Structure 1
């Protein structure tokens, strides 16, 4: 079945790159060769042995959550093997990352990729994991806000400083600066009642997970853009590669569709990408 959409809708994949699946450079090259526009990688620094927080996706936490590569290392490998593929985090757990390091990592990725980096951000769900990083789950949204704002200061100011409740530093030099002007887009994950407040204050776009709080997507997108006063971009990740789903998302006003790509060895992954490209990408 061949399915076509207007060129305004772009197509990428969202996945977990692990030590047991396809390598990121091979994946990046395969995506670009088949006409995909982007690669977004998930992140978990670790999974605590004693688990208490329910996984939003169901009962059992899938194996790939335990084995993710660092997304910036993996995305750099993918960027080095490609020329056009946009490389992004989907999502970076900002509340578990030092903002100065995060600013440098993302700007470095943007530099080595020639301006193809995207920073998808969120506060995460695994309270045990974030506590191991010294993060109080009850204040993680305020922490997320300050760290993203601090990163943007570091990207855009020669002598950047930030003074907040959680992030506090006097003027610093932090290089490299991003290639993209003014900086790589920051896409805000989530679909909760205050998500749009974050998108409007410190985001450059919205990136929810398909099927998690997106039942009223056309109205949600219309509301977001009405509040923003502009056509704020929407990327949706974890999308099943089904033509009817894609058509509905395009009709809702989604700008970029990220197909959910299971974590598999190289051969199985390449076969799956061939099927997705033949069925879902514009011909």
Structure 2
């Protein structure tokens, strides 16, 4: 995964290199913009890195990546879907998935920057409910010839909207809060918790076991778990595998081509 920016490696070059080295997928982050106010605290510290305000639109960039690759999954980690109108985003996602031949995966999250949400007319107090409603509305558009939706934030009478995606894109719900598994089970096809140094993998294993048990009780199949921003360490990856994690997303630097390709080569040695 990478913050793909306008000052670093270009998307098609990165996508080709990722596929050539045998990785399973490539995921992009999303911020439509970053307000200059900096009132919302950032979990990584006081100074927000430059990359946050320089990211490409992930859907445009992933479409360019799709045409130069054949195998790898292409996804968002994560898309701030509540900042998009669901009718427009449903068409964007469906178009991208068709260009990619059914390889797109939609990782989603409510976001952390309250000023960014406010600039989109979103009340931060409703962000989670709005996110879930946007997912449900988009799923209706992807799967129904005459979709309609009537909710708290989204309301439309029957519409026609093509193209439809090759498959209904898997929705991976991001987050680690106490109710995130409820959201995964109600609106998701998988869970995308964050990783990083010092993560309690035993605690994560217990939550994965809970997710799988609840999914089984609900008559659902296997729900994938993808750890976002995992440590690039063999022992950590082994611990994740033992905990029931299906896939990890390893971070790439927002740097030039030579440095990113060197990091890709190093990470390739960790593949199972």
Indicate the residue corresponding to 1:3 in structure 2. Answer: none
Gaps of 5+ in 1: 1-13
Q: How many residue pairs are counted as aligned between the two chains? A: 266
Distance 1:56 1:188 in 2: 19
Distance 2:30 2:231 in 1: 20
Distance 1:213 1:168, change over 3 A: farther
What do the CA deviations read for 1:134-181 (whole angstroms, capped 9, x no partner)?
Answer: 00000111101110000000000000000001000000011110101x
Distance 2:198 2:122 in 1: 25
Distance 1:31 1:119 in 2: 19
Contact persistence 2:106–2:170 (CA under 8 A): yes
Indicate the residue corresponding to 1:96 in structure 2. Answer: 83
Three-state SS of the structure 2 residue aligned to 1:15 is: coil
Distance 1:135 1:272 in 2: 38
What do the CA deviations read for 1:69-90 (whole angstroms, capped 9, x no partner)?
Answer: 0000111111111000110000
The higher-RCO structure (CA 8 Å, 6+ apart) is 1
Contact persistence 1:208–1:214 (CA under 8 A): no
Specify which of 63, 77, 82 is matched with residue 76 of structure 1: 63
Distance 2:205 2:135 in 1: 27
Alignment of 1:168-183 (within 5 A): 168-180=155-167, 183=168
Alignment of 1:147-226 (within 5 A): 147-180=134-167, 183-211=168-196, 215=200, 216-226=203-213
Distance 1:214 1:165, change over 3 A: farther
Does residue 41 of structure 2 align to residue 50 of structure 1?
Answer: no
Distance 1:213 1:233 in 2: 22
Indicate the residue corresponding to 1:281 in structure 2. Answer: 271
Indicate the residue corresponding to 2:262 in structure 1. Answer: 271
Distance 1:263 1:156 in 2: 36
Distance 1:168 1:59 in 2: 39
Q: How many angstroms does 1:272 deviate by?
A: 1.0
Distance 1:92 1:245 in 2: 26
Contact persistence 1:210–1:237 (CA under 8 A): yes
Q: How many angstroms does 1:62 deviate by?
A: 1.1
Alignment of 1:231-270 (within 5 A): 231-270=222-261
Contact persistence 1:191–1:212 (CA under 8 A): no
Contact persistence 2:197–2:231 (CA under 8 A): no
Moved over 6 A (4+): none
Distance 2:261 2:69 in 1: 16
CA RMSD of aligned residues (A): 1.2
Q: How many angstroms does 1:213 deviate by?
A: 10
Distance 1:211 1:142 in 2: 27
